[in-house]
Amino acid sequence: MDFGEFEIFALSGGAMRLDGGAMFGVVPRPLWEKTNPPDEKNRILLGLNALLIKTPGHNILVDTGIGGKGDEKFRSRYCLDGENALGMALKDAGLIEDDITVVINTHLHFDHAGGNTVFDSGVFRPAYGNARYLVQRGELDAALNPNERTRASYRPEDFMPIIDAGLFDLLDGDAEVADGVSVFRTPGHNRDIQLVKIESKGTKAVFLSDTIPTAAHLKYPYIAGYDLFPLETLKAKKEIIEEAARERRLLVFSHDPCHAMGYVSIADGEPVFEKIP
């Protein structure tokens, strides 16, 4: 879609399934299953959405999905088909991997950074060889030094080849990536997750990553059990939602399987999701 001087595309990297209780934390199943029905293993369907931003000077990809790597056990656990869905979506937007000049990793969990690399001729290599990969310095440190709770979320093959190729640019807090595109650090899901703001000719958008992963998570108490700092997530959600409602910011959801983008308004003090007309 046209977005001021830019073009933006919500790209689907396919879908996965995760435990519904984990995705909604303290919210009881009878509430969240109304909008996110689980399968027989209590897993709900989640999108693997990335955002392509075409600016006059850059082709910027925000997150890279889960990628096509992983053995049969991994694919079965998350109901993956193993296809390079994001690569196909990129082609539909008129680009190939070599056209990407900037990759913004909101964080390095496998479902957001798995597409950073590909397995090619027996080795892992960067999928976007002409791009600089931007991540918070603290997030890379967390990925390199995981603890017992976080270890399952990080796969070295998603980021070590980027380090070896010297393609990471490490950020320390909020930063401008390009004219009209910036990142802001938002602790909650983890300590150094970064979200992305886009502004051009009065139009504004924000890529929400795992701070607000789906439209259902716009409700303030709906915070994933995966979040390391849930009260900080709550604080960030309120600020983001109130600003988005006030300024009519387009919201981009990383995991909503039906609505990759939309708007929010406030009614009786509660967020209300608005589909794109």
How would you write the pLDDT of the chain (277 residues) with one tens digit per residue? 999 999 999 999 999 999 999 999 999 999 999 999 999 999 999 999 999 999 999 999 999 999 988 888 999 999 997 677 999 999 999 999 999 999 999 999 999 999 999 999 899 999 999 999 999 999 999 999 999 999 999 999 999 999 999 999 999 999 999 999 999 999 999 999 999 999 999 999 999 999 999 999 999 999 999 999 999 999 999 999 999 999 999 999 999 999 999 999 999 999 999 999 8
pLDDT of residue 81: 76
Return the half-sphere exposure (C-beta side, CA atoms, 13 A cut-off) of residue 222. 19
pLDDT of residue 83: 72
Cα separation, 263 vs 246, in Å, equals 11
Cα separation, 44 vs 170, in Å, equals 34
Q: Which contiguous run of DSSP H or E holds residue 94?
A: none
Number of C-beta neighbours around residue 157 at 10 A: 17
In the sheet with 270-275, reading across from the earlier edge strand, the strands are: 175-178, 181-185, 194-200, 203-207, 250-252, 261-267, 270-275
116 neighbors 154 (Cβ within 8 angstroms) = no
pLDDT of residue 82: 62
**Maximum Cα interatomic distance, the chain, rounded to a whole number of Å:** 57
Q: Which CATH class is domain 2-275?
A: alpha beta
Strands 132-136 and 175-178, bridge-based pairing:
unpaired
Q: Please count the residues of the chain.
A: 277
Tokens describing residue 168: 């990471």
pLDDT of residue 151: 96
Q: Can you give the pTM of this predicted structure?
A: 0.96
Cα separation, 182 vs 195, in Å, equals 8
